[in-house]
Structure 1
């Protein structure tokens, strides 16, 4: 950051906050306190109305405003929530950029807009998983994935599936050409990539990857691949039917299982149809409803539920 950029950054920081000490400004800008003192003198000489209060800090004279862009309250809230989302859910590089962007947006808001934005933001909260888990399973991985995509190089990683595949394996080593990242509310960050093992495009949960390595092998994203338009192939071909206690129908609906296909309230209960690749994918979810659900088909899955309940009984 050169001196001109630093002087502008100081003015924006003072617009963002009513009062800032030299120590606080020095920390934000990554310079010494002595440099801040010199910059304040330069700004004053340039006609910027800076007020220095001994023992308190610096502020801008009331009414002074440098607005390169104007935002409505709704626009400002949208942008600030967006930076907060990126700061919480992306890798360290983007997190730092999001934090910097947020400070710049806050700095250019007029005081009335800023106060109203603060009020609205205070009524909205973005929930997130445990910060350390995200850092270990998603944030670090995202940084490596972005590196591979930027350099057009393939990735190699160990993938941990929740349900074993037909060969009984839950853990496989994959080499892929990373085409893009997508975020899903239920699954978190997903990598869309061409998988060498499956010879097709697959999507992988970033949180289920380990041992990520950027290889020396390069790839080229096909010209006809459109991340925004891409929809994964639906390979769910097995139907599972269940009847839930009607008293919890609203909870089942709110759970919004990815596998749920139809739901209908009838006299004997809340009838739900699921479509899965393997019934095992639904086992833990079904068991979580306890005695409030009865699986009616297929028979093989009914037997699998009985088997798992039997194993549970052995522990009690």
Structure 2
């Protein structure tokens, strides 16, 4: 077999491994060959056991499980992986963390020795303060049980400890999806205690999860984003508000450095203050956030949020007198 044909076959395999299927016409143009030559090369790949296939209306591609392309990591990419591994070590007991760490270490292992050694030297001058995991709760077991229930659409018997209740709530749960936010895992689904409302439940609050043999049908068009909508964090309340808050110059830089919400708009004032506006579903979550800035934040609108923040500060003042 000629060298040019070997190169062409390697190029053909590379094209077939791309995420987008390629039609015969596209392949002939990319390879600069005739259709006859293309089909002859495809037959050669078939004889060699390369598992390509044709999707009607789309084109040719190779099964993704065949093999992965070689990975050449740069120094910056290797450093990034090492920092991720260093920060993730403290969360080894969290859901999916061991698998993620294993993948990171495998990628680091295939980098050339000079790059890996250089990155290790640089890493000695980088400090990472990891987020500490929750003690005394098997979040990983709960995650795996709920993920299996989602995959197999199985109803669960659960006991859930709400922070506002003295006793755990026992009910049936039909889990739809998992969601990671604010360094915590949540499950979204319907329960026998809340009617048709989709609830957002925090994994660390589950006291028990038992899968049953009863199946449910997950809504085909369910999306986590549809449930969360314009909520400040996780809990939409069914009414949207136009929020405007003015922050003092002392904290303005801190506020404007972060993207707090997808609808965020910022206006910087001449004296260093800033005004930040949002379109938010519900006031409870954002009220707590505003109170965190104490006397450095002034609610301009709506009046309902201004009143709520004022009342929360008054109660805090009485509590601390």
Question: Would the TM-score normalized by the shorter structure come out above 0.5?
Answer: yes
Partner of 1:307: 311
1:188 lines up with 2:188 in the alignment? no
Q: Structure 2 length as normaliser, TM-score?
A: 0.56
Partner of 1:284: 288
The more displaced of 95-104 and 294-303 is 95-104
Distance 1:264 1:94, change over 3 A: closer
1:294 lines up with 2:295 in the alignment? no
Distance 1:301 1:104, change over 3 A: closer
Distance 1:254 1:106, change over 3 A: closer
Contact 1:240–1:279 under 8 Å retained in 2: no
Q: Structure 1 length as normaliser, TM-score?
A: 0.57
Partner of 2:149: 148
1:118 lines up with 2:137 in the alignment? no
Contact 1:87–1:98 under 8 Å retained in 2: no
- In 1, the alpha carbon distance for the partners of 2:223 and 2:308 equals 40
Give 5+ residue unaligned stretches, structure 1. Answer: 1-67
- 2:176 counterpart (176, 179, 187): 179
Please state how far the C-alpha of 1:303 moved relative to its aligned partner: 3.0
State the structure with bigger RCO (CA 8 A, min sep 6), 1 or 2. Answer: 1
Partner of 2:27: none
Contact 1:189–1:206 under 8 Å retained in 2: yes
Residues paired across the two proteins, number: 240
Please state how far the C-alpha of 1:255 moved relative to its aligned partner: 4.6
- In 2, the alpha carbon distance for the partners of 1:263 and 1:283 equals 18
Residue pairs, 1:92-171, within 5 angstroms: 94-119=96-121, 127-131=129-133, 133=134, 136=137, 138-155=139-156, 156-158=158-160, 160=162
The more displaced of 186-195 and 81-90 is 81-90
Contact 1:90–1:142 under 8 Å retained in 2: no
Could you list the per-position Cα deviations for residues 252-290 of structure 1 after superposition, in whole angstroms to 9, with x for gaps in the alignment? 123543486332123574222244443232233222212
Contact 2:91–2:132 under 8 Å retained in 1: no
- 2:243 counterpart (240, 243, 246): 240
Q: CA RMSD in A?
A: 4.2
Partner of 2:209: 213
Give 5+ residue unaligned stretches, structure 2. Answer: 1-68, 231-237
Please state how far the C-alpha of 1:90 moved relative to its aligned partner: 6.5
Distance 1:276 1:120, change over 3 A: same
Please state how far the C-alpha of 1:103 moved relative to its aligned partner: 4.8
